[in-house]
Amino acid sequence: MMLNDDASPPPKNGGAARETEGYSNPVDPSLSRPFRFKARPEDFIVEELPLDVEEPDPSGTHVWFEMEKRGISTPDATRRLARALNRQPQEIAFAGRKDAVAVTRQRMSIEHVSIDELLSLSLDGIQIRNPYRCRKKLRVGQLAGNRFHLRLTGVEEETRDRLADELASLQRTGVPNAYGDQRFGRGGGGMALGRALVKGTPMEYLQCLADECARGPQTEAAHELLRRIREGNPSELRRATELVRSLTDDLRAVARTLARRRPDDLGELVRAVPQRSRSFHLAILQAKMFNEVLERRVADETFATPLVGDIVRAANGRHSELMELPAPITGPSDGPSEASGETIVTGPIWAADMKAATGVPGEIERAALEAEGLTPADLANPGGLRPRGARRPLTAALGGALTEEWRDEAVWIAFDLPVGSYATVVLDELARRVSGRD
């Protein structure tokens, strides 16, 4: 249950769609499963694996600290912390988002704050630990990965040994690197936002934002804001800030821009939505297209097998087009490992400048784009963004796999995953293998 970078739970104001096919919904409760996983904080622990830890410097203006949160998302936690410190949420830096329905431990940083003030805070569901000063801000993506601890129940005695064997097997082979269900959220709004941002009118995108509001005052204020935009009464537009207190963060920015400038170009109101939210809405659509490519490659049993025309990533992190098939491996394989010098097959995070595959892999990638009614040019400047294309491995390496003591038909498992890979996908693959459905 991990988002990356990009990917942890969607921001409060930028809802996301719940997809129900293929790898878009990897933990399907309708499946007959050899174990149960109930998403409760006490059964799901996530620990960030640090990368490039900054050395303490008493003269530094940035304070790094570890936050443990329980039952809340990373954006919600930063909002609560910012409110307690009388700061803005964007002033609090973190390397990656973490799940809401979990106990998670992650690093954060904030500039120009007293360590004593941090340690004196008392916030429900949040604990601050080990603060220290350093010279640099924590960067997005500045983590090696995440370690997951999950409690599985309903594990019968005859299943436990196979569970341990299959988890060890996944460590050797890797798992399909799908975006998990948390990337898409609930209710259908996230995909609608992504599609409206790329192909819709500004009003369609703003309407989707309004539709994502919770019931109650937020919904009423959001639809009142849209009415004023549509009708264009100058007096009402100037007073748009009177709605701010009842709007989500995304629509507050729209209301303030509307009151200050009353732009004729509604695209300016779209661009007023915080860039982080617009980028997230686009990322939902990109993730959906990636999952469609991966689903096809899994069905063809080629998601871990390079084909001519694939864009592969080498051990040094460089990407290149595969012009000929590699020599067959005659010895036992330990699964995907860039450290061993193997190349990793990648799939598309579509943008106008993305390096696309050719041949059969390229046909699969273009089909996912065309299924959304898009061309690469449509992704050049959606909603004022300038996204850069990327490649994501089709296979995720799983490390540090452990199966702990079985007791009362329950067992804890633990494993490491790279940044942006999802524990729910591992559970789905594990269930398929233990049940003999692969």
Query: Among all residues, which ones are annotated catalytic?
Result: 99
CB 170 within 8 A of CB 432: no
SS3 at position 269: helix
In angstroms, the Cα distances linking 51 to 21, 140, 144, 262, 419 are 35, 11, 5, 45, 11
Phi, psi of 381 (to 5 degrees): -150, 50
CA dist 364 and 387 (Å) reads 22
Under a CB-based contact definition with an 8 Å cutoff, are residues 205 and 193 in contact? yes
Separation of CA 346 from chain center? 18
Radius of gyration for the chain, computed over Cα atoms and rounded to the nearest angstrom: 23
Nearest Cα to Cα of residue 414 among 151, 148, 153, 173: 148
Which residues make beta-bridge pairs with 111?
62
**Helix axes of 157-173 and 423-434: crossing angle, nearest 10 degrees:** 120
Residues 348-372, buried b or exposed e (16+ Cβ, 10 A)? bbbbbebebbeeebbebbbebbeeb
Angle between helices 202-211 and 249-261 (to 10 degrees): 140
b vs e for 272-309, b when ≥16 Cβ sit within 10 Å of the residue's Cβ? Answer: bbbebbbbbbbbbbbbbbbbbbbbbbbeeebbbebbeb
User: Which amino acid makes up residue 196?
Assistant: A
Q: Which residue has the tokens 């065309």?
A: 370
Q: Could you give the CA distance from residue 281 to residue 253 in angstroms, rounded to a whole number?
A: 16
* Spatial CA neighbour of 425 closest among 287, 332, 305: 287
